[in-house]
Amino acid sequence: MSFTSQVKSELCKIELKKPCCLRAECYGAWLFSKCFTLKEGSYTTENPHVARRMLELAAAGAGASAQLTYAVSRRRQPAYKVTLPEEQERRRLVNEFGHSGLEPSLRINRGALEDSCCQVAFLRGVFLSCGNATDPNKGYHLEFAAPYKNLANDLYALLGEAEAFRISPSLVRRPGGYGVYLKDSGQIENLLTFLGATGASMELMQVKMYKEVKNNINRKTNFETANMDKTYSAAARQIAAIAAISDTVGLSSLPENLQELAALRLNEPELTLRQLGERLGVSRSGVNHRLQKLLEQGEKILKEKGVDGVM
């Protein structure tokens, strides 16, 4: 089951106890179904829960009798087709929400949304009809596919005005319609929660938390790896310089404090400056100062031999 189908199936389980909310969800679902007209049309979905919900909403929310038949989706998958085959049923549906069915351009009739709870129910119906949510494991994207420009503009405004959601949608032109979408994971969580898909919202939050933990671990690992690479690179340069001194003038030519450090670095090249200092009873800055002297002497010897430098 896709994440979108999961969300819609969860929304279909919500029991509508208030008549105003039932009407509002019916209005949202059918207004964005491309069937909100006096002309005969059909709404096709692969989700059986959505198909039955559309049927029930038409009957309970507008007193219109719809029919459910089997069909094939655009992806050539088994699907369900919901229709209002009788013109009088189509007229009853559009008239119920203050429309004539002859409007040159469909708009959202705000008068049909009595309270804030009705706005939530309306948006739930819109999502059931034309919503899509990307699997959070793949990305964060929730979109309403609006069939007409003015409907898209009205939905964009309604989403932006809803105080309960606190979201900022975006609007885009799509082939065959318009998209009103969200890409912020927090805003998608809020919208799913208020629509009633709390299970899907929790799944999104869990995936988000897992990704954040994983990214933090990766950043820490990369940081530590970079530091290790830097340490090993510096140690290699130091060993090369000490080897140049040993092969030419010999380590015995060095002052005692440098001899001791050179021998320790050669024998245990993985030690950090702090660990070298602890072995020798010297501060980290003192170890670094002595190593710089060894590097300088090694560089000098190599240049005299015609070698450019230590690594």
Question: Are 186 and 268 within one domain?
Answer: no
- pLDDT tens digit sequence for 283-299: 888 888 888 888 888 77
Q: What is the pLDDT of residue 311?
A: 47
Question: For residue 48, what are the contacts with CB-CB under 8 A and spacing of at least 6?
Answer: 80
Closest residue by Cα to residue 146 from 114, 175, 189:
175
- Rounded mean pLDDT of 24-42? 92
Question: According to the model, what pLDDT value does residue 267 have?
Answer: 81
In which domain, by residue range, is 76 found? 3-196
Q: How many structural domains are present in the chain? A: 2
What is the share, in percent, of the chain residues with pLDDT greater than 90? 47
Let me know if residue 205 belongs to a domain: no
- The CATH number covering residue 155 comes to 3.10.28.10
Residue 310 has pLDDT above 50, yes or no: no
| Residue 232: per-residue pLDDT | 60
Q: Do residues 170 and 217 both lie within one domain?
A: no
Q: Which of 92-106, 140-154, 219-233, 268-282 is the most confident on average?
A: 140-154
Please, are residues 133 and 141 in contact by the beta-carbon 8 Å criterion? yes
Q: Is there a single domain that holds both residue 169 and residue 283?
A: no
Mean pLDDT of 90-115: 90
Whether this prediction's pTM lies above 0.85 is answered by no
pLDDT at 136: 92
Are 30 and 157 within one domain?
yes
Residue 177 shares a structural domain with residue 122: yes
Instruction: State the pLDDT confidence band at 251, using cuts at 50, 70 and 90.
Output: confident
Count of positions (residues) in the chain:
311
Mean pLDDT of the chain: 86
| Residue at a domain's end among 153, 171, 196 | 196
| Cα–Cα dist 61/241, whole Å | 86
